[in-house]
Amino acid sequence: MSQRIVIIAGVPGAGKSSVLREAHERRLELFKIVSFGSEMLKLCLEQGLVENRDQMRSLTYPVQKNLQIETAKLISSMEGNILLDTHCTIKTPAGYISGLTDEMLEILKPVAFILVDAHEVEIRGRRKSDETRPERTIEAFADIREHQVINRAFATSFTQKCESLLKIVQNNTGEFELTVEEILQTLDYVTM
Amino acid sequence: MSQRIVIIAGVPGAGKSSVLREAHERRLELFKIVSFGSEMLKLCLEQGLVENRDQMRSLTYPVQKNLQIETAKLISSMEGNILLDTHCTIKTPAGYISGLTDEMLEILKPVAFILVDAHEVEIRGRRKSDETRPERTIEAFADIREHQVINRAFATSFTQKCESLLKIVQNNTGEFELTVEEILQTLDYVTM
Amino acid sequence: MSQRIVIIAGVPGAGKSSVLREAHERRLELFKIVSFGSEMLKLCLEQGLVENRDQMRSLTYPVQKNLQIETAKLISSMEGNILLDTHCTIKTPAGYISGLTDEMLEILKPVAFILVDAHEVEIRGRRKSDETRPERTIEAFADIREHQVINRAFATSFTQKCESLLKIVQNNTGEFELTVEEILQTLDYVTM
């Protein structure tokens, strides 16, 4: 069977990393995890464009776009099925930017998008207690909801473009196991 | 005047069938009703792929995609204006699937999308009392709202792609007549 | 540097005009304001299609579509950066129509979309007290929210298509200065 790419995204605080890790643990033989950002950072470092992850935000828009395409090509050339950890949109002071342009989608050809979400109260709480990045701005609930709404709209565009599945999972406290199982349903379906 | 296809969709319990029937009664000379699902089932039965409607869900994704395209071609070859009864999205355990891919839209070239919606409390109530399909799972309000949001986003993608109209009608209890009239406004406009 | 087109849109009552005027005042050297509707009206008057703005609504859909394309071409041929004042969607009795078809977007190639929004209670209040157009229908809150949701979905489609920025600003009472500053952030970013 040919390569399957499943994209998994979510706003910061939705708990994407932990559900992704657990889902991967249970389907080690089916998928490997690839982080879009880490692959792009590797390319940047190799090309001497930046010295660390934080500097990537200061790259010009055309440079970033070009790097995104190169990274997409690199990932699509990898062997086996991929759980691609990335962003649906990137929120910048100048506005939202799509995390997956049509050109990237044509390269990656994802068969499913999994959007990890949670209630805005939970998301805000998790961001507050996220001490590894204490500088992160705490957005108000309205900002989180706006980002969620925008992510769903973008994910819909991606899905329509790619004729793929769109799975939204609510990762609220106490529902971790359920969230993981919902993700596995999608992973199992696309690798049937 | 050339053929006009108007797509009418809505989540189960939104009351699409009854408003569609009534709107059709009042514009019998203008439109005929075609059900996408029924036409696809007919094709499936003819081709010996299934023995009944329920088995269609178990067809593989590539087979379903191919059937959708064939059904779209069949419908676009029909004479006269069509009120096409279909789904905006199909909700499966693995995720949402678009009911109308870009390829289908290019064949059907719909001039308008009518999305029949209702308040989630009403939708849940109607699903509960739907005794012809007693096995149907009662989704929580949040699930209904999610499906409504996703349907609007997909309908927007369809509309943008087809340069068509997007009409959303709220079919809440006691507003049946108003809902029908709103649908007729769209039907009359596109056949002016 | 080549021409930059930034599109600014919002539902009636969101206060787009005043924030647009103020943002423009502060970046006079960077942008000029162009109103899509006014340019289209000029074309209509020149071509003898209408005698005033109100008559434009009664033009047939194919005529309107053609005028939109001609107007888009006219605007893209103008010199300098443009703040393009237009509608994300037009709400008609027959349904929503996209204010920016894919064909128009390909001509205009906007680098950013700024959606000016406000709470529905504020929007309704502003519409009520808008005495220069006393005939305007006061829509219920639900209608305003629906239009806002649809606008965001369309704006997302535009953004994905154009690989542009999507900025949503909440122009609630008492936050005028903040709204203007948020718009300036986007304008400054795209002209860096």
Say yes or no: B142 contacts chain A, CB-CB below 8 A. yes
DSSP character at residue B33: E
Question: How far away is chain B from the Cα of A49, in angstroms, using its nearest Cα?
Answer: 37
Using CB atoms, pick whichever of B161, B165, B192 lies closest to residue C95: B165
* Enclosing H/E stretch for C174: none
> In chain A, whose CA is at the least distance from the CA of C187?
A94
Cα–Cα distance between B17 and B23 in angstroms, integer?
10
Residues B165, B113: contact at Cβ < 8 Å?
yes
Mark yes or no for CB contact C101/B167 under 8 Å: no
Position A101, amino acid: T
Return residues 56-85 of A near C (CB < 8 Å).
60, 65
Cα–Cα distance between C64 and C43 in angstroms, integer?
11
DSSP character at residue B29: T
A5-35+81-190 in CATH: which number?
A: 3.40.50.300
Question: How far away is chain C from the Cα of B64, in angstroms, using its nearest Cα?
Answer: 26
Q: Answer yes or no: is pLDDT of A34 > 60.
A: yes
Note the pLDDT of residue B66: 92
Question: How far away is chain A from the Cα of B177, in angstroms, using its nearest Cα?
Answer: 32
Most confident by average pLDDT, B49-58, B138-147, C98-107: C98-107
| Token pair listed for A102 | 């049509």
Say yes or no: B156 contacts chain A, CB-CB below 8 A. yes
Note the pLDDT of residue B116: 97
**CATH assignment of B5-35+80-190, among 3.40.50.1970, 2.60.40.1220, 3.40.50.970, 3.40.50.300:** 3.40.50.300
Cα–Cα distance between B15 and B33 in angstroms, integer?
16
Q: Answer yes or no: is pLDDT of C7 > 70.
A: yes
Chain A residues closer than 8 Å to B95 by CB: 112-114, 165-168, 186, 189
Note the pLDDT of residue B95: 96
Which whole number is the average pLDDT over C102-110? 98
Using CB atoms, pick whichever of C114, C160, C190 lies closest to residue A157: C160
Tell me, rounded to whole angstroms, the distance of Cα C147 from its chain centroid. Answer: 14
| Token pair listed for C121 | 């209670």
> Residue B167: which of B185, B144, B146, B154 has the closest Cα?
B185
Q: Answer yes or no: is pLDDT of B65 > 50.
A: yes
Q: Answer yes or no: is pLDDT of C1 > 90.
A: no
Q: Answer yes or no: is pLDDT of B182 > 90.
A: yes
List the domain boundaries for chain C: 5-34+80-190
Q: Answer yes or no: is pLDDT of C138 > 70.
A: no
Place of tokens 């709202």: B145
* pLDDT tens digits, one per residue of A54-68: 888 788 878 888 999
pLDDT-derived band at A142, boundaries 50, 70, 90: confident
Residues C159, C111: contact at Cβ < 8 Å?
no
Chain C residues closer than 8 Å to B160 by CB: 98, 101-102, 154, 157-158
Mean residue pLDDT of chain C comes to 91
Mark yes or no for CB contact C94/B153 under 8 Å: no
Q: Answer yes or no: is pLDDT of C39 > 70.
A: yes
DSSP character at residue B82: E
C25-59 as b/e: b if 16+ CB within 10 A: eebeebbebbbbeebbbebbeeeeebeeeeebeee
> In chain B, whose CA is at the least distance from the CA of C151?
B156
Q: Answer yes or no: is pLDDT of A24 > 80.
A: yes
> Residue B126: which of B20, B8, B16, B9 has the closest Cα?
B16
> In chain C, whose CA is at the least distance from the CA of A58?
C189
> In chain C, whose CA is at the least distance from the CA of B188?
C94
Residue partners of C39: CB distance under 8 A and separation at least 6: C71, C74, C75
Chain C residues closer than 8 Å to B112 by CB: 94-95
Note the pLDDT of residue C133: 53
Chain B residues closer than 8 Å to C149 by CB: 149, 152
Indicate which of C146, C148, C150, C158 best probes the interface with B, i.e. most B CBs within 10 Å of its own CB.
C150
> Residue C98: which of C113, C111, C119, C81 has the closest Cα?
C113
Please report the DSSP string for chain A in residue order: ----EEEEEE-TTS-HHHHHHHHHHHTTTTEEEEEHHHHHHHHHHHTTS-SSGGGGGGS-HHHHHHHHHHHHHHHHTSSSEEEEE--SEEEETTEEEESS-HHHHHHH--SEEEEEE--HHHHHHHHHT-TTSTT-----HHHHHHHHHHHHHHHHHHHHHHT-EEEEEE--TT-HHHHHHHHHHHHHHHT-
Mean residue pLDDT of chain B comes to 91
**CATH assignment of C5-34+80-190, among 3.40.50.720, 3.40.1390.30, 2.40.30.40, 3.40.50.300:** 3.40.50.300
Residues B18, B118: contact at Cβ < 8 Å?
no
Note the pLDDT of residue A135: 41
Residues B84, B7: contact at Cβ < 8 Å?
yes
ipTM reported for the complex, 2 dp = 0.90
* pLDDT tens digits, one per residue of C67-97: 999 999 999 999 999 999 999 999 999 999 9
Q: Beta-carbon neighbour count of residue B21 at 10 Å?
A: 12
Note the pLDDT of residue C136: 46
> Residue A152: which of A9, A3, A1, A7 has the closest Cα?
A9
Cα–Cα distance between B57 and B39 in angstroms, integer?
15
Using CB atoms, pick whichever of B96, B101, B146 lies closest to residue A165: B96
Note the pLDDT of residue C153: 97
* pLDDT tens digits, one per residue of A52-107: 888 887 888 788 889 999 999 999 999 999 999 999 999 999 999 999 999 999 99
What value, to the nearest 5°, has the Cα angle with vertex C119 and ends C115 and C123? 85
B25-37 as b/e: b if 16+ CB within 10 A: eebeebbebbbbe
